[in-house]
Chain A
Amino acid sequence: MNDIIANSDLLFKGLRITLMLGILSGVTSLVLGTLLGLARYSNITPLKICAATFIEITRSIPLVLYIVFIYLTCSPILGQINIFHDEIFGSLEFQSAFIALSLFTSAYIAEIVRSGLKSVETTQIQAAKALGLNIFQRLKYVILPCAISRMMPALVSQFISLIKDTSLASIIGLIEFTRSGEIIYERTYNETQILALVALVYFVICYGMSQFSKKLEQRPFGIIKLGF
């Protein structure tokens, strides 16, 4: 217990980085993934091919490979740009991990978005067409709201994966939650308590999210408010 209390500063700092990395890449990949998913769902062939190529390649390689590739290729460029002077955001490790996790997760989100779009019944789309709605109106008012409520469970589980995946950023030396735990037990040799605590914290976050997702499933359209 003493080892944990004595090093709680480092653990909190690590947890903060993990959460920030998770939230920032989560939001970015949601935007990017939606655009990619729409591109692959569209009828515009070049757009479709580009999106599909990126998605398929990304989905077939391990995340660690992605992270180290981005780190090795982008850090020279990121080092020159050097826009953030913040202690956390300014580090090349954080920036590389953020880029890698965002790109990687967006490929998975794109597939969730696409299958959500495909799950909207043709009869619904026909009804919208019959009312004279154009393609953008159909997407905005009919297809996306239906698709989003169906995508929610898969999206939440993708974000759970993302939180777990942030632990892999330790490979490029980012001192996020896992790495901070590692540093402490390398110093104190108290692996049992520290890893138990780290595991527990991840569990509480991820399990909490999955329970939240189950609540959402019980009221399919509860999350969507429509105003036009």
Chain B
Amino acid sequence: MIKIINLSKYFGKTRILNNINLEVEQGEIITLIGTSGCGKSTLLKCIDGLEKPSSGKIYIDNIDITSKNTNLNQIRTRLGIVFQQFNLFPHMTVKQNITLAPIKVKEMSKNEAEFVAMELLEKVGLLDKINKYPDELSGGQAQRVAIARSLAMKPDIMLFDEPTSALDPQMTMEVLDTLKNLAQDGMTMIVVTHEMKFAKEVANRIILMSHGEIIEQNNPTEFFDNPQKQITKDFLESVNL
């Protein structure tokens, strides 16, 4: 579904990503872990076309998104991304946040979009907040609305960029539950996270990154119980499972 070949990314002279190769199959749930600044978020933004890679190719269903001829907006309707800081639009209600893109990009009718919004809000347990503004929501609620906003475009793949790191433990639980439900529905997901417990329970594959490179990847059992590389061992030691 996603195929990344020799991807590198520089900011000025600083190397953020170095020669990344990765393939993601439909229905896979991948967690990206690593210390902050290791390039996980940048990798995610490259996949969504929000950052332009310095070199290398990214294919989404065999369409090269790094090519100039590709209509990024069209590809993006197939991908959803949820950010660490929610990034809800502060001047719109929850309903408007969710229905904006379906109406404007997918040209859905207003009624239909609102129906979808209500369905999704019910799924994340926030139907009563439909007419609230983002600043009236708690962090956990705002993040769940952000997830609903992405899901409203009916994406095939969901990307999560540290969705819980701005939240306290209680709210983290709420958001992770939403993610688990999504996983059970069979959504293809890439989750950048520091939540090792979540990674262990939900992911099919765990990828450790360090200094812009993929160090080790494996299924959760192998990854946690039988790490191959020294960096992985050190990392697991430091997060103190």
The reply on B173 being an interface residue by CB < 8 A is no
The reply on B16 being an interface residue by CB < 8 A is no
Which residues from A are CB-within-8-Å of B150?
130-131
- 9-residue interface stretch from B30-38, B70-78, B183-191, B194-202: B70-78
Chain B residues 69-127 with CB under 8 Å of chain A are 72-74, 76-77, 79-81, 83, 85, 87-92, 96, 100-101, 103-105
The reply on B48 being an interface residue by CB < 8 A is yes
Contact partner of A129 (CB less than 8 A), chosen from B50, B90, B91, B103, is B50
Give the distance to chain B from A120, nearest Cβ to Cβ, in Å: 10
- Find out whether the CB atom of A133 lies under 8 angstroms from the CB atom of B101: yes
The reply on B224 being an interface residue by CB < 8 A is no
> In the complex, what distance in Å separates the CA atom of A31 from the CA atom of B133?
30
> In the complex, what distance in Å separates the CA atom of A33 from the CA atom of B103?
30
Give the distance to chain A from B76, nearest Cβ to Cβ, in Å: 4
Contact partner of A145 (CB less than 8 A), chosen from B91, B104, B153, is B91
- Find out whether the CB atom of A130 lies under 8 angstroms from the CB atom of B48: yes
The reply on B149 being an interface residue by CB < 8 A is yes
- Find out whether the CB atom of B73 lies under 8 angstroms from the CB atom of A134: yes
Per-position contact with B for A124-165: 1 when CB-CB < 8 Å, else 0? 101111111110010001100110010000000000000000
Which residues from A are CB-within-8-Å of B105?
131-134, 137
Give the distance to chain B from A223, nearest Cβ to Cβ, in Å: 10
- Find out whether the CB atom of B104 lies under 8 angstroms from the CB atom of A141: yes
The reply on A123 being an interface residue by CB < 8 A is yes
Which residues from A are CB-within-8-Å of B101?
131-133
Give the distance to chain A from B80, nearest Cβ to Cβ, in Å: 8
Chain A CB count within 10 A is highest, among B50, B83, B91, B104, for B91
Which residues from A are CB-within-8-Å of B73?
129, 132-134
- Find out whether the CB atom of B133 lies under 8 angstroms from the CB atom of A221: yes
Which secondary structure dominates chain A's binding surface?
A: helix
The reply on A224 being an interface residue by CB < 8 A is yes
> In the complex, what distance in Å separates the CA atom of A123 from the CA atom of B90?
12
Chain A CB count within 10 A is highest, among B50, B87, B149, for B87
Chain B CB count within 10 A is highest, among A121, A128, A132, for A132
Chain A residue with minimal CB distance to B103? Answer: A228
- Find out whether the CB atom of B103 lies under 8 angstroms from the CB atom of A124: no
The reply on A226 being an interface residue by CB < 8 A is yes
Give the distance to chain B from A164, nearest Cβ to Cβ, in Å: 31
Chain B residues 146-167 with CB under 8 Å of chain A are 149-150, 153
The answer to whether residues A226 and B92 also contact, given A129-B50, A131-B149, A137-B104 and a CB cut-off of 8 A, is yes
A and B contact pairs by CB, cutoff 8 A, 15 listed:
A121-B87, A123-B83, A123-B87, A124-B87, A129-B72, A131-B101, A132-B76, A132-B77, A133-B100, A137-B104, A146-B90, A224-B91, A226-B91, A228-B103, A228-B104
**Interface contacts beyond A127-B83, A131-B100: sample of 19 additional A-B pairs, CB < 8 Å, sorted by A:** A127-B81, A127-B89, A130-B81, A130-B150, A131-B105, A131-B149, A132-B105, A133-B100, A133-B104, A133-B105, A134-B105, A141-B89, A141-B104, A142-B89, A145-B89, A146-B90, A226-B91, A228-B96, A228-B103
